[in-house]
Amino acid sequence: MTVFNRIAFIGNSLPRRCGIATFTTDLQSAVAASRADSKTVIVAMTDHGHVYDYPTSVGIQINDGLINDYIRAAEFLNAGRFDVVSLQHEFGIFGGEAGRDIIPLLSLLKMPIVTTLHTVLAEPSTPQRDVFTRIIELSSKVVVMAEKGRELLRTVYQIAEEKIEVIPHGIPDFAFVEPDNAKNKLGFADKSVILTFGLLSPNKGIEFMIDAMPSILNACPNAVYVVLGATHPNLVRDEGEAYRESLIARARDIGVADHVEFLDRFVDQETLLDFISMCDVYVTPYLNEVQMTSGTLAYSFGLGKAVVSTPYWHARELLADGRGIIVPFSDADAIGFEIEKILTNAPLRQAMRKRAYASSRSMTWERTAERYISVFENAGRRHRLRTIAKSDTTTLLRDSRAPPEMQVGHFLSMCDDTGLFQHAVHSVPDRSHGYCIDDNARALLLACALNTPGELRLPEVLTSRFAAFVQHAWNPQTRRFRNFMAFDRGWLEDSGSEDSHGRTLWALGVCVLSDANRSRRAWAASLFSEALPAVEEFLSPRAWAFTLLGLDAYCAAVADDDRADRIRALLADKLLALFQKAGTADWVWFEEGLSYDNARLSQALIITGTALRRQDYLDAGLRSLRWLLAQQTSASGQFRPVGTEGFHDVRRQPRNFDQQPVEAAATIAASLAAWRADPDADWKAEAAKAFAWFLGSNDLSIPLVDLETGSCRDGLHPDRANENRGGESVVSYLLGLSEIRHMARIAEDQSKSAPRVA
């Protein structure tokens, strides 16, 4: 296993005064201490107009407003051959709108990126969402410090569960001590000390704690409220010390000035720990729930302090189950009541302290560093999988030996003497769901595809079963194909859907042209001709497209069938009219939304336009496919099929999940049809990219196929692969593989026939 010894951290760094700087420095120090042979550096973000005397742990700094600094930092990291980069993301520390200037740096990096998200917005602006999503896509793993962060990433941003890690904010490993010694040291002997520390800003709610002091003093006259921390630099820049001065005035006006002490300074860790040690109660009266983490809360909790807090996200989780006390936002009476209770009840206070301290032992920086290193190693594995998949994609374009072998073991196990089962439980056929003509028509397509040179044909008896299923599905009374059959071979309907009828015609048409058995070719031509007229009344664009795919093969095999030629033109005209009606400059598609098997619509017009020499069909097919491919490409350049959660959404960007193999197979076939009509290498690249999705070049970096058995998982959920391996999935993979292998054989033949240069 690769050992990750060279680790870089991008974020603010001490002596810059902010929570991110403290966190980045502490994390870097903890990781460095965990491995004696490690090399760690910080890439420090420097806010415009400031200069800091950085320690030697800072390898390079970035002026947040200079884009060239970001590029220079990427070159530094690549040249240093770092194993992983740990990015600290917070809104406001990177340049550009919503911090977008960090993206060029991340895009240039050759190593995996693990991003710690210090804030996850529930309602981001459009620029914030765009930048945030792009950063996550470029990251192999993301870390949040609270379960609420995980929830928001999954629900608001549709991030895969497998990509998310929850690692609480680290804390110093400090002994559980009584406050008396620290009080004596800092001049607060014989006082009951309430503490708030951190950079001072209006969202901290200090005024409500000040308003609570009169009632606290009635119960505990020796109480003192210590507010430790400099005013936030951004606030000083914009407003000076107006906020601090307003708080001082407030304490004076309500008569508690002698019991509220403001210490305007940014302290080092040793001094900070002394201040936390001396307090009896730590309070965070923040005003807004949207705070994913608080380093000040984590530190105080970790030193075993009784904590009173408003219910912002981090506090709700950390202080649950009696580990602290939660009070409503902006409620001075509630704050005062709870602090009075703690200060006047020593057993209660001590019990809270011990509970907090015991709960926090897994949060020490030593333990936190171990968890981060584990995530770094996991990210390295994910990064290697992506690299392998991308490498395979490139190899597919140039090396005919690259495509996997055609393994049909699982496919055969999914068949019985009736046909291909619909579903499986893991890799075991699920008889309870029986069969459908959709999957058996696809299986007949696969049998025909494997008749080509370079492939091993399916057993004759198996191809015959698929044909028999199609024949038995034909209902002469309705002039339609049935679709669903129970395991007892009883049909569950008199007529199937328009789409299943069209898909069956597609299989029959290909069978007419490509089946190895002459008698079965004649059978297919007869049944195709009998079933074709029903399509004239169909309303489904996919049924039209599937039928056009079948007509392309049928018309190539059967000359002078005027009815077939007429229906072919009719269906192509209908698709073209849909495209012209629905399409706009931004929405280059046939319908108001995207659904399943989308690429087949484009493919149908491409092959029909090629066969009939109709430039309008061909242009519409190529244009729509280019647009669809753009919709199906993630920010990291991988194939991302239209997710089932977004089927039929009106004119909106596709949802990411669930992703299904049928979309990859359709995209491969359509892209190669486009390549044959328009010999541009980009079309082959798109086909290879869609095939690489099966191999693991996808949002979860999970291979869907078992190359030894040829089985294929049923798709990708947001957090995992669907472990079931049903009929549609295995046939989709094998059909896609047959297309890729055919493309590779063509490339090999072209290479052999190319003239050699002496």
For 143-212, what is the HEC assignment?
EECCHHHHHHHHHCCCCCHHHEEECCCCECCCCCCCCHHHHHHHCCCCCEEEEEECCECHHHCHHHHHHH
Helical spans, DSSP H, in 399-493: 409-413, 437-449, 460-473
One domain for residues 408 and 343 = no
| pLDDT exceeds 80 at position 391 | no
Q: List the domain range (segments joined by +) for residue 573.
A: 397-752
pLDDT, residue 3, reads 57
One domain for residues 77 and 203 = no
Residue after which a domain boundary falls, among 167, 188, 214 = 167
Q: Is the peptide bond before 658 cis (omega within 30 degrees of 0)?
A: yes
Show the CA angle centred on residue 166, arms to residues 163 and 172, nearest 5°.
140
Asked if residue 24 is part of any domain, the answer here is yes
Q: Is the peptide bond before 127 cis (omega within 30 degrees of 0)?
A: no
- C-alpha–C-alpha distance, residues 612 and 561, integer Å: 14
Asked if residue 627 is part of any domain, the answer here is yes
pLDDT one-digit tens code per residue, 1-18: 445 689 999 999 999 988
pLDDT, residue 1, reads 43
One domain for residues 160 and 210 = no
Pair 142, 268: CB distance under 8 Å: no
Asked if residue 388 is part of any domain, the answer here is no
Residues with Cβ within 8 Å of residue 255, at least 6 apart in sequence: 214
One domain for residues 131 and 248 = no
- Retrieve residue 271's tokens: 């001094």
pLDDT, residue 178, reads 92
Pair 589, 583: CB distance under 8 Å: yes
pTM listed for this prediction: 0.56
Pair 460, 515: CB distance under 8 Å: no
One domain for residues 614 and 492 = yes
pLDDT one-digit tens code per residue, 475-495: 999 999 999 999 999 999 999
One domain for residues 408 and 477 = yes
One domain for residues 506 and 557 = yes
pLDDT, residue 553, reads 97
Residues with Cβ within 8 Å of residue 221, at least 6 apart in sequence: none
Residue after which a domain boundary falls, among 313, 347, 366 = 366
CATH of the domain at 118: 3.40.50.2000
Asked if residue 678 is part of any domain, the answer here is yes
Asked if residue 474 is part of any domain, the answer here is yes
Asked if residue 384 is part of any domain, the answer here is no
Show the CA angle centred on residue 311, arms to residues 306 and 312, nearest 5°.
110
Please state the φ and ψ torsions of residue 508, each to the nearest 5 degrees: -65, -45
pLDDT, residue 758, reads 44
User: Percent of the chain, pLDDT > 70?
Assistant: 95
Residues with Cβ within 8 Å of residue 536, at least 6 apart in sequence: 567, 570
Asked if residue 458 is part of any domain, the answer here is yes
Average pLDDT (659-680) is 94
One domain for residues 511 and 592 = yes
Among 285, 300, 286, 312, smallest CA distance to 209 is for 285
Residue after which a domain boundary falls, among 167, 200, 225 = 167
One domain for residues 65 and 148 = yes
Local confidence band at 144 (pLDDT 50, 70, 90 cut-offs): very high
Asked if residue 265 is part of any domain, the answer here is yes
SS3 content of the chain, % helix, strand, coil (to 5): 50, 15, 35
One domain for residues 535 and 682 = yes
What total number of domains does the chain contain? 3
Among the listed ranges 7-21, 374-388, 512-526, 670-684, which one has the minimum average pLDDT value?
A: 374-388
Local confidence band at 333 (pLDDT 50, 70, 90 cut-offs): very high
Among 271, 274, 283, smallest CA distance to 177 is for 274
One domain for residues 163 and 211 = no
One domain for residues 611 and 691 = yes
